[in-house]
Every structure is written in C-alpha cells, then in structure tokens.
Structure 1
Amino acid sequence: MTHPVHMKPAVLPAPLQSLVTDPKLQSSTTHLPALHSLAVQIEHNLQYQHSWTALRIHTHSPLTNELLPRPLVSGVPPERAYIDPDEQIELLKKADQKRKAATDDKSDSKPILEFEAQPEREWVLPTRLSEKWTLHQLHDVFTGISIVPPENETSPTTSTNPWRTSKRAILATVDTDSTVVYYVIHEGMIKPRQN
C-alpha cells in the first residue's frame, strides 16, 4: 500500500520514550510519573553512557519499606565513585610496599605506583537542573536509604568496605537538553580528600 505524498510516515517512539511510557513500569510506583520517568532516564544514561551494571530503581525505603520521597536508582559503576581519604592513604601505603618489593636494586627505573579500589554499589538521586533543593529535602532522602543499596528486596544492606561508614548518594542532575552531570553528596560532615 502506498501513502499519498502529503502524508508523513508514522514515527516510532524513541527507545527511551518506550521505556518511560511502559505501563508495566509505571504501575509499580505511586510516585508522580515525571519523577519515575526521570529515574528511568538516569538508569538508561548510567547503563548505556557510563557502563554501570546491576541497575535497579527503588521506590520504597530498604529500612522502613515506606515510599521514598522520589524514586532512586542504584547500581555498580565500572570504577569506584568515591574513596574515603583514610582508605586512600591505606591503599597508597599498600601499593608503595608492593612497588618497593617489586623493584630490582640494579634497575634505575621504578614501577609506577598503582592501586585499585573495587567498585561499590551506589545510590543515585535523579534530579532536574530546574529543581531547587533544600537541606530538608536531602535529609528526607538520606533518612530513607541505607549506607549501601540492597541488590534486591531480600538482600541485606551491609557494607563489606570498613571505610564506608556514612550514607552517600550520587546526585544526577539532568538539564533540558538531556545532559546529565553527576556529583557525590554525603550525609553530614565528611573529611576532605587529599590530593
């Protein structure tokens, strides 16, 4: 069947749009659809632009099972998102010991100081650039989350990293052109990082 010249062909929705409008995804939450679609957009960005794995959208608190102020995303980044300053010092000491042990006395060149911190599951707070956040709103988000996000509804929320003792989240801020900027935010006062 041919279409008349003046008629445009049907336009299929973009892949992200089909995720956002999927009724199965929207029926599992009582948040506003705009907040849920924002979480889906961030989840999509983390997976396809930043190679995060094990992504999940959380609508209820893992601590109280009450509705969170807004849907949050959790997942595992390809690299550690944040290293505690004290942990950083310990990792550098261990790496220096390994480097010294590997150095041959006859060689003038020293191996490069390298250390690797394993990635950890992180909370991600989806926001829009146009939103005005208050400390009270951030407090409400931190009250509903655990230190480490659960992998699923039945898994415990304990950290295997002894240096991870306070709550943190990655603030994902989306601009009107769909650009996403990520910031690490913490609950309370945190020791500054050393350069």
Structure 2
Amino acid sequence: MATEANTPGEPQPSALQTLLTTSASDPNHPLYLTQLAHQIAHNLEHQHLWTNLRIHNVSPLDSSPLPRPMVTGTPPQRLYIHPDEQIALLQVQKAQGNKGLGEVKAEREWVLPSHLREKWSLRRFAEAFEKIGIMPPSSGEDDEDEEEQTNKWRTKKRVVLATVDDDSTVVYYIVHDGIVKPRQN
C-alpha cells in the first residue's frame, strides 16, 4: 500500500501500484476484480499498444451488473480473421495481383480479466457471454461510423481471456461463444 511520505531509502511506488491503490471501487464487484481489470487495461495500453480502453461494470445489453469488470479496447491490428473472410480477402488480392492479405482494419474487442488460480467452467464463461454483445460498444473516441465497425463475418461473441500470474505475467487467449469454423490449411 502506498503511503503519503516514503521513508528515506524506500522505493517510490510504481505507476501500476499507484493506479491500483487509487482505482475507483465498484459496489457490484470486489476490489480485487476491479484492480485486476485495471491491471489488464494497463498491460494492454503500455505493453501491447491498445487504444480506446474502457472498463465496464454493467452490461451494455440490459444495464445489469456484469459477472466481473470487463475491458474493451482496440488492438493495434486485427486479432482474429474468420476463415471465410480470409478466403474472400485472398480472392480479392489474387484478382488484384497483390500478395498477402493487405491492411485488415482492427476491431474493438472484449477482454475478460482473470487470474491463473481461478477455476473456469463453461457456466462461468456462459455468464460472461450472456451479458455482452457481439461487438463491444463504441468508446466514443472513435471517428469511425458504426457501419464501418460492423464486420459481416463476426457472427459469434468472443472475448480475449487475459490471465495474470502471480509474477504479473499476462497471457491472452481468444475464446468464442459456441463452435467456430476451423481455419483451412
């Protein structure tokens, strides 16, 4: 816990420690879940260059509390390309005589903060998926039209499961709600 005046020789609190000790409490969630969401948002912004980050405590669908605070934001590049979209992009590139997929616009993503010691079940994932939409709500900072944000290939809900270990290592997994068509090799 940060103190007002540090004794001589005592190190100053880190930026993350200061953020966590001053993070606003949420009456719907325990403090450790709120701090976990802030830690993940901090990691996404400073280590992975995500933008337009926002922490959500209530569902955008019905304004009821989320099972836990969740983060939304825009990664620097698209995290997932649906296999059918990938085929369509390759066909367009082939017709134009270009190589590769070219520039694919990044999309806002839901991020579900968790700790490595937590036990996850299909029921717990279903509770989180039940309260979110396919696309996260706009941050209000985006200059894009809502039509531009709509991806016809994005038909399933998905979250980026952000799992923190005790040593502050964070790993990220994409988790879909339901069965998703596998990629073609």
TM range (shorter): 0.7 to 0.9
Give the superposition deviation at 1:176.
1.1
In structure 2, which of residues 31, 35, 41 is the aligned counterpart of residue 43 of structure 1? 41
1:17-70 CA deviation, whole Å, 9 max, x = no partner? 111111xx3234531111111101110110011010000001100001011010
CA distance in structure 2 between the partners assigned to 1:170 and 1:193 by the alignment: 18
Select between 7-16 and 87-96 the one with higher mean Cα deviation.
7-16
1:133-181 CA deviation, whole Å, 9 max, x = no partner? 010000000000011111248x998851111111000000111111111
Give the superposition deviation at 1:117.
1.4
1:180 to 2:170 alignment: yes
Q: Which residue of 2 aligns with 1:143?
A: 130
Q: Which residue of 2 aligns with 1:160?
A: 150
1:185 corresponds to which letter in structure 2?
V
Which runs of 5 or more residues in structure 2 are unaligned?
1-6
State the secondary structure of the residue aligned to 1:92.
helix
Q: How does 1:53-92 map to 2 (within 5 A)?
A: 53-92=51-90
State the secondary structure of the residue aligned to 1:21.
helix
1:21 corresponds to which letter in structure 2?
T
Report % sequence identity.
50
1:101-136 CA deviation, whole Å, 9 max, x = no partner? xxxxxxxxxx63342211000000011111110100
CA distance in structure 1 between the partners assigned to 2:121 and 2:100 by the alignment: 41
CA distance in structure 2 between the partners assigned to 1:178 and 1:27 by the alignment: 21
Relative to structure 1, is the Cα distance of residues 166 and 157 closer, same or farther in structure 2, using a 3 angstrom cutoff? Answer: farther
Report the TM-score when normalising by structure 2.
Answer: 0.87
Which runs of 5 or more residues in structure 1 are unaligned?
1-6, 100-110
RMSD: 2.1
Report the TM-score when normalising by structure 1.
Answer: 0.83
Q: Which residue of 2 aligns with 1:12?
A: 12
CA distance in structure 1 between the partners assigned to 2:19 and 2:182 by the alignment: 39
CA distance in structure 1 between the partners assigned to 2:99 and 2:79 by the alignment: 22
Give the superposition deviation at 1:97.
1.1
| Contact in 2 for aligned 1:149/1:157 (Cα 8 Å) | no
CA distance in structure 1 between the partners assigned to 2:91 and 2:163 by the alignment: 35
Instruction: Give the greater-gyration-radius structure (CA).
Output: 1
